[in-house]
Chain A
Amino acid sequence: MITNIVIAGLGGQGVVKASDILADAALAAGFDVKKSELHGMSQRGGSVTSDVRYGHPEHSPVLSPMVPPGEAHVLLVLEPTQVEVARPLLHPGGLLIGPELIEPGALKNKKSFNVAMLGALSTGLEIGELYWQQAIQANLAEKLHALNAQAFALGRARGPS
């Protein structure tokens, strides 16, 4: 089976960075992975979504790099205004993880909100914690590692079980 995840938010929130981390973690865990989003205007504050798909490399390799609309198993939304915008992407039985899960004050630095949300996402996925940690380190500057490890742990504690 292919797992379809869509991350949604606004430009500048680290949506693409979050999907890079997720994709790297899934790759390290041995999956075939594809991820895709539209760049371009995202830097200037517009809506951004990023699709990540992974599956067993032999039994269910990923074909299209885009999650078909309405077929996301999990929709991770980083910004309240984008919940309704992105909802049609979610499968009717899929899981929505919204930004209210982590209140702004809970984090030392609000820039690590995207990684905290990944922590919440991680509890429902078959990707070991070690792979997440490695992927976070590979995608962020060293001085940010400790901060984001904390954010990830905080999110993970609140993730749906």
Chain B
Amino acid sequence: MTEERLLLSGDDAVALAALHAGVRLGTGYPGTPSTEILETFDRLGGHAQWAPNEKVALEVGIGSAFAGARTLVTMKHVGLNVAADALFTATYTDVDGGLVIVSADDPGMASSQNEQDNRHFARAAGAPMLEPIDSQQAYDYTWLAFAIGERWKIPVILRLTTRICHAKTVVRPRGVEQRRSLESHETSTEHGKTEHRFRRDIPTRVMIPAFAKPAHHRLRQKLAEIAAWNEAEGPMQEYGSEARDQDGDQPAPKLGIIATGVAAMHAREAAPDARQLTFGLTYPLPLTRIRAFAAQVERLLVIEEGDPVLVDDLNAAGIKAEGKPMRYRFGELNVERARRIIAGEDSPEPEPAKGKPPELCQGCSHRVVFEALRDLNCIVAGDIGCYTLGVLPPFSAMDTCVCMGASIGVGLGMRHVLPEAEARRVVSVIGDSTFVHSGLTGLAEMVYNPPPTGHLVLILDNGTTAMTGQQEHPGTGRSLDHSPTHQLDFAGIAQAMGVQSVVLIDGSDKTLSLEERIATQLARDETALFIVRQPCVLAAPKIRLYEKAAAGERERRCAALPEIDD
């Protein structure tokens, strides 16, 4: 370790470790609280890209790791649902380069549509999982995830939670010497830069049944070996074991706590004198170590945020452990809640004061759309983004919101079964980033199975992924670092798919009433796509800067081109 003390968020610590560990490619899709990892990795000089969605990100990551490169894939918890198809079979394969998948969970739903607990994914997919308790461990476990992943050729999930991602704590990064120690896996080095070569290995990478059957056996074998390693050398901390009574004897302490992730910190603060076992590799579990710890205490209490995952695993393994009352399954834990769990307190908790809810910015381009939908009394199948705030007064113009992309399918489903007069009022509303993420297949469904009354989809194209802090996406024509790249043409795509009416609308054009246009379209039995375009007011100044920089770059490049004689 160096003497350098940095105050870093967990996200930044992961990015720094990825850079230090020589990650060749970072890819992912934005989502609070994971977004900053790739942004920081890019700022530090790493190669980072936004993928259209998490599934594509993981697939790109699998390819990069198959080619032997250290790869980082980041997403929020619900992103792993989208990427799950790739994950569940990737664990059967042998990945040469370390493949680390960051799942950033959001217990308490600070900025998410659910508070699912992705520890279940480690168990379901058979992926080792590391869970840091602070930014130092976020840094260290990123390294460790690559070490485990490369030793056993298995994808590793680094599970963070909101308070790990966004809390800043002190980090001492590795010195240059220590960094070198993990670079031994590199295959061939030319001019100082590692070159990754393709190595054909059909039986471990082509998952047809003949190869997948032995691959599943190999996966279980790998996990058994990793569990044994976890028992012997896994990252573990035990606190309070030095406690002795006045005669110098070590009495059996009454309370022993098992806690992981940020809950371990809350628990230590809540019960500084209790014995506590905390481990970083939370799947596969170090059951022998836990059993030994359990034997030394009278009351074994598991303090975990979210679902009763750990406590159920322990009890299933025959280790008698006490969990928390149901009320603490909802929301985040904190020191106060940890104290209550320890005290066995199950009375209602004081309600936190209600603050001011967020709202669409003044001048936000989404406002006119929701005013129109409200005034037309539309049934609005909504989606996820800043525009979900259209559900709040003064608009109250959203009737459904489930997951990214659902607006189109949900709208179509309602159109199919509602009586005609009601079916005609149904509109699907989707943001531009969300449309690329998972709206394209919805559009295919609309032209393939059109409802008798047709349907209308509105893309609210504000030129950015505003919700998560204004990231680029394939529809903006700029890469993660805001440099120009190919831009998807939404109208062209819809026309090519066979949508009957495709209309580009300038959201700032006050001469044409959006309300009238929507009303006219709803009366027709057509499939229709309106692309309402107006930049997010917070992103607009930056977009202008990026465009200016790109124009300057184009000019420079044209000037540098050789003259062509014809």
Residues of A participating in the B interface, judged by any CB pair closer than 8 Å: 10-11, 20, 23-24, 27, 32-47, 49, 62-66, 68-70, 81-82, 84-88
Contacts and interface: CB of A to CB of B under 8 A. Distances in A.
A46 B358 contact: yes
Interface stretch (B196-204, B263-271, B448-456, B541-549): B263-271
B167 A34 contact: yes
Contact of B111 (A27, A35, A40, A66): A40
Contacts of A46: 355-359
Contact of B469 (A11, A23, A34, A43): A43
A44 B536 CA distance: 12
A79 B334 CA distance: 26
B33 interface: yes
29 contacts: A11-B358, A27-B5, A33-B7, A33-B168, A34-B134, A34-B168, A34-B169, A34-B170, A35-B7, A36-B166, A36-B167, A36-B168, A39-B110, A40-B110, A43-B469, A44-B361, A44-B386, A45-B361, A46-B359, A47-B355, A64-B266, A64-B269, A64-B334, A65-B262, A66-B163, A68-B334, A70-B336, A85-B353, A87-B353
For B111, B353, B357, the residue with the greatest tally of chain A CB atoms inside 10 Å of its CB is B353
B361 A27 contact: no
A64 B262 contact: yes
Nearest to B469: A43
Nearest to A35: B168
B265 A63 contact: yes
B162 A38 contact: yes
A19 to B, nearest CB: 9
Given A39-B110, A44-B386, A27 B7 contact: yes
B32 interface: yes
Interface in B201-227: none
Contacts of A37: 166
A148 B301 CA distance: 49
B355 A24 contact: no
A53 B136 CA distance: 17
The size bracket of the interface on B is 35 or more
Contacts of B354: 85
Contacts of B269: 63-64
A64 B335 CA distance: 7
A45 B163 CA distance: 21
A39 B358 CA distance: 12
A68 B336 contact: yes
A58 B101 CA distance: 34
A35 B356 contact: no
A10 B335 contact: no
A86 B162 CA distance: 21
A45 B7 contact: no
A82 B170 CA distance: 30
Contact of A85 (B162, B268, B355, B538): B355
Interface string B454-477: 000000000000000100000000
Nearest to B6: A27
B80 interface: no
Contact of A33 (B162, B170, B358, B538): B170
A38 B134 contact: no
If over half of A's interface residues share one DSSP class (helix, strand or loop), that class is named, otherwise mixed; here it is mixed
Given A27-B7, A32-B170, A37-B166, A65 B110 contact: no
Nearest to A86: B353
A38 B110 contact: yes
Interface in B163-187: 163, 166-170
Query: 3 nearest interchain CB pairs?
Result: A47-B355, A40-B111, A46-B358
B389 interface: yes
Contacts of A47: 355-356
A44 B334 contact: no
B166 A88 contact: no
B252 interface: no
A65 B170 contact: no
Nearest to B337: A68
Given A34-B168, A88-B352, 9 more contacts: A10-B356, A38-B110, A43-B358, A44-B359, A44-B361, A64-B266, A66-B335, A81-B356, A85-B355
Contacts of A39: 32-33, 110-111, 166
A65 B336 contact: no
A107 B458 CA distance: 45
Nearest to A10: B356
A66 B334 contact: yes
Contacts of B389: 44
Nearest to B538: A43
B295 interface: no
B352 A69 contact: yes
Interface in B403-424: none
Nearest to B268: A63
